[in-house]
Structure 1
Amino acid sequence: MRTTLLAVAASTIAAATLTTAPPAQAAPRTWHVGPTRALTAPSEAAAAANDGDTVLIDAATYRGDVATWTQKGLTLRGVGGRAHLEADGQSAQGKAIWVIAGDDTTVDRIEFSGATVPDQNGAGIRQEGAGLTVTRSWFHHNQDGILTGENAASDIVIRRSRFFRNGAGDGYSHNLYVGAVRSLTVTGSWLWGADVGHELKSRAARNTIVGNRISDADATASYSIDLPNGGRSLIAGNLIIQGAGSENPALVSYGAEGLTNGSSELWVVNNTFVNRRTSGTFVTAADGTRAHLRNNLLVGTGDLTDRPSTDAKANRRVDLTGFVDPERDDFRVRSDSPAVDRGASVPRRWRAEWEYVHPARQAPRTTNGRVDLGAYEAR
């Protein structure tokens, strides 16, 4: 009898467990959005999608359509070209065209423009979740291109994208503004023409900024790259052009608001720096920075750094004669340039592995013998 009762009890418990088990997760779906689709605007997909879904947005202009995305693991992609989200005076939560609250989101081939809000931080994307990858996307004429919050578990990756003419003109809004996240990676991208603010500002604990063009053009931008809290950082293989109208004489600033991140190690390797102001400093760093400056080309006036004791090797000032077409911002080096075969060795993890290819692409940097100075290998 005891054995029978135990068996019945076990059977009852098993049945109860089966009836209370959570439902199986639905398989990821693909949603199609477009003027001729059942879902005519991205905001409709934001209301319908589930975790892990893909939203394909037809290339068209979606004027005044804003959205908050709360799902995890979304892929949001323009098809047939870039899908253009034009704010037209609207914003999600008073913050952005898209507020992304879910984790691990991928945004590909989307264009964001015209985001303005009363606090002057209207962004193309306001990133509030953990983890964002942006590829082949454009951000322009917003108060901020991308603005992220603070999240120590968040990694931000930006590839082959363009940021231009962003900023509210107040000095507190920027082309790209990344908060205190775990890491930022920017490669193969073109950032230019910020309005008073910085071209790129990051408070990330780790920064990898490799193979980009960062240029003020005719704008009144401040720093080209601002890493105000330090962090373990690599700035390599970039073409960085400070315009004559820049409101700050420094191109790269490190630790200006205090070295509050866990690392104060900075490597600035194989960049081509162009200063079109009448004075300036190419790299400024706070006291306590462990800075290493290698193989950079300097064009124009200004000091390499404001830290005389900085570990600096094979950095060279040159004129315009050794470049392909400097008047058109083509600073690839010619075979007769004094930059050829003049580079010093750099530990592998800190090398410039990529070159910028205009517009907004990248290619592996290949060397033939000794590395050349600057952002490009001579061909």
Structure 2
Amino acid sequence: MSVRRHLITALLLGSLTAAVPAGELPSAPDELGSIRRNERGQLEVLKPPGETAPGAARNADRQAGPGQPLQQQRIPATTSGRTIVVGPQESVRSIQEAARIARDGDTIEIRSGEYRQQAVVWTQARLTIRGVGKRPRLIADGDHAEGKALWVVRNANMLIENLEFRGVRVANGNGAGIRFEKGHLKVVRCAFFDNETGILTSNFADAVLEVEDSEFGEAPRHAGALHHLLYVGKIARLSVQGSRFQQGFRGHLLKSRARESAILYNLLVDGPDGSASYELEFPNGGLAWVIGNVISQSDNTENPELVSYGAEGQHWPDNALYLAHNTLFDSLLAGHYLRVWTDRMPPETEVWAVNNLLVGRGVFAPQARGRFEGNRSIDRSLLVDVDGLPFRLPNNSPLRGTATSPGFVRERSLAPSAEFKLPAGTHPLPVGSPLTAGALQ
């Protein structure tokens, strides 16, 4: 064997053994890579297109353990692949064309503007799709994929960012902006308006959905299935943070059947133009973290409950609801801020309700074993508008800074670390500052 071949072989073996820990060597790939001489005159190995670091997929699929908030999970970055630019002045002018040519690891950038009838079934395993500049608007205009949604995400690790989905209608009345079927989907700074359902998921027990800094609203008022703004099936995990829900109609603002749900620092306020049923529902129980949200019914609602847990009975083996530092509005005289269906859930189901601010005339009472403390009731007239949010206690309120620490459960703090900001998003709270009952500190 020549000296050159010895050198190439050593480089290939060295690059593989350095990247993979002892005892975790993968099976031999079909293509080890190519060799080139770099600008310093040294030979180096190039990975095949689309190859990622060993173990990346395993780490991405690792579930959050105790004490690890769901919102800290991240979609793996697409470190390889092309960038496909879509726009009226670009060589690729339609999203459907971009979907046809995209490969695993690619990034699709969509320029500002309106894109009509761009229904797609995404079949790639890894993609990043983002709007560039002012949020592009995807208008169904009668189009849909497979009678399900404007976009169907089949089975992927996918990030969708800065896009608006609008006007989806299908024959069964359940048309979604996005139908998420399997994998790990993260949706950031997106909007879902005038769809029969904003996002609708499947029931695959290992699927994960994350939603951040997004907006849901304008539920249609035609007959058909209940028009939930976000409807999550029996998946593994749901995280919703810094997002706004409003203007529902008969359906719920947010409904989750997930095994574990983290609903953090959101604005679920139906508003005067809304008439949603529940604002937040966990029909099959599961492990639910509800921290730092502003939740309010419309006066037009036909449902006397704000938050519902367990109405359709147990599905998961682990069931608990942790409701801390939320601001809850209920103007109905016989309304209930919280309804726990204890007759349909296991007797060991735990409910904590700590440091919530109760505004209105509703009922808030212990309904299961657990903790029920630090909750404060006030009249709505005692709140002030700050930065467009009329839900905050004034600085001179005697309740300011008087809340005790809500403590830890399952190695996780129930104290808020952020609060909602308009139009959608969060900003962090100062570490160590005195706590006040409610969501807005």
Aligned to 2:288: 233
Find the aligned partners of 1:276 and 1:211 in 2 and give their Cα distance. Answer: 22
Aligned to 1:207: 261
Shift of 1:153: 1.6
Find the aligned partners of 1:266 and 1:124 in 2 and give their Cα distance. Answer: 29
Q: Which moved more, 1:56-65 or 1:257-266?
A: 257-266
- The answer to whether residue 255 in structure 2 is matched with residue 246 in structure 1 is no
Find the aligned partners of 2:439 and 2:241 in 1 and give their Cα distance. Answer: 13
Retained in 1: the 8 A contact 2:351–2:369?
no
Match of 2:436 among 356, 372, 375: 372
Find the aligned partners of 2:419 and 2:186 in 1 and give their Cα distance. Answer: 20
Match of 2:139 among 74, 86, 100: 86
Aligned to 2:157: 104
- The answer to whether residue 30 in structure 2 is matched with residue 21 in structure 1 is yes
1:256 aligned counterpart, secondary structure:
coil
Find the aligned partners of 2:431 and 2:104 in 1 and give their Cα distance. Answer: 44
Q: What is the TM-score with the length of structure 1 in the denominator?
A: 0.90
Find the aligned partners of 2:425 and 2:433 in 1 and give their Cα distance. Answer: 25
Shift of 1:262: 2.3
Find the aligned partners of 2:314 and 2:428 in 1 and give their Cα distance. Answer: 32
Retained in 2: the 8 A contact 1:102–1:130?
yes
Find the aligned partners of 1:109 and 1:221 in 2 and give their Cα distance. Answer: 26
1:77 aligned counterpart, secondary structure:
strand
Deviations 1:183-227 (A, max 9, x none): 111111101111110000011111100101001112110000011
When the two structures are aligned, how many residues end up with a matched partner?
Answer: 358
Aligned residue type for 1:370: P
- 1:3-18 to structure 2, matched below 5 A, reads none
Retained in 1: the 8 A contact 2:331–2:362?
no
Shift of 1:278: 3.3
Aligned to 2:403: 343
- 1:60-209 to structure 2, matched below 5 A, reads 60-166=113-219, 170=224, 172-209=226-263
Deviations 1:109-160 (A, max 9, x none): 0000000001011000001121110000000100000000012221111000
Retained in 1: the 8 A contact 2:230–2:253?
yes
Match of 1:311 among 360, 371, 381: 371
2:364 aligned counterpart, secondary structure:
strand
- The answer to whether residue 344 in structure 2 is matched with residue 291 in structure 1 is no
Retained in 2: the 8 A contact 1:170–1:196?
no
CA distance 1:308–1:158, change in 2 (3 Å)? closer
CA distance 1:358–1:25, change in 2 (3 Å)? same
Aligned to 1:17: none
Retained in 2: the 8 A contact 1:136–1:159?
yes
Q: Which moved more, 1:315-324 or 1:85-94?
A: 315-324
Q: Which moved more, 1:180-189 or 1:270-279?
A: 270-279
Shift of 1:38: 1.2
CA distance 1:280–1:170, change in 2 (3 Å)? farther
CA distance 1:353–1:171, change in 2 (3 Å)? farther
Shift of 1:231: 1.1
Retained in 1: the 8 A contact 2:234–2:258?
yes
Retained in 2: the 8 A contact 1:294–1:344?
no
Q: Which moved more, 1:316-325 or 1:145-154?
A: 316-325
Shift of 1:301: 1.1
Cα RMSD of the aligned pairs, angstroms, is 2.0
Shift of 1:171: 5.8
Find the aligned partners of 2:188 and 2:399 in 1 and give their Cα distance. Answer: 32
Find the aligned partners of 1:243 and 1:324 in 2 and give their Cα distance. Answer: 19
Aligned residue type for 2:404: A
Deviations 1:270-297 (A, max 9, x none): 0001113333101111213310000001
List runs of 5+ in structure 1 lacking aligned partners. Answer: 1-19
Aligned residue type for 1:102: N
Q: Which has the higher strand share?
A: 1
Retained in 1: the 8 A contact 2:208–2:238?
yes
- The answer to whether residue 384 in structure 2 is matched with residue 324 in structure 1 is yes
Aligned residue type for 1:93: E
Shift of 1:368: 5.5
Shift of 1:329: 4.7
Retained in 2: the 8 A contact 1:246–1:277?
no
Aligned residue type for 2:290: I
Match of 2:97 among 40, 44, 65: 44
Find the aligned partners of 1:368 and 1:215 in 2 and give their Cα distance. Answer: 29
Retained in 2: the 8 A contact 1:52–1:74?
yes
Retained in 1: the 8 A contact 2:174–2:225?
no
Aligned to 1:3: none
Q: What is the TM-score with the length of structure 2 in the denominator?
A: 0.77
Shift of 1:369: 4.8
List runs of 5+ in structure 2 lacking aligned partners. Answer: 1-28, 33-47, 51-79
Retained in 1: the 8 A contact 2:188–2:214?
yes
CA distance 1:171–1:351, change in 2 (3 Å)? farther
Find the aligned partners of 1:325 and 1:30 in 2 and give their Cα distance. Answer: 44
Match of 2:319 among 255, 264, 270: 264
Deviations 1:295-332 (A, max 9, x none): 00111111114727652101011013432229x65212
Aligned residue type for 2:108: V
Q: Which moved more, 1:184-193 or 1:256-265?
A: 256-265
Shift of 1:367: 5.8
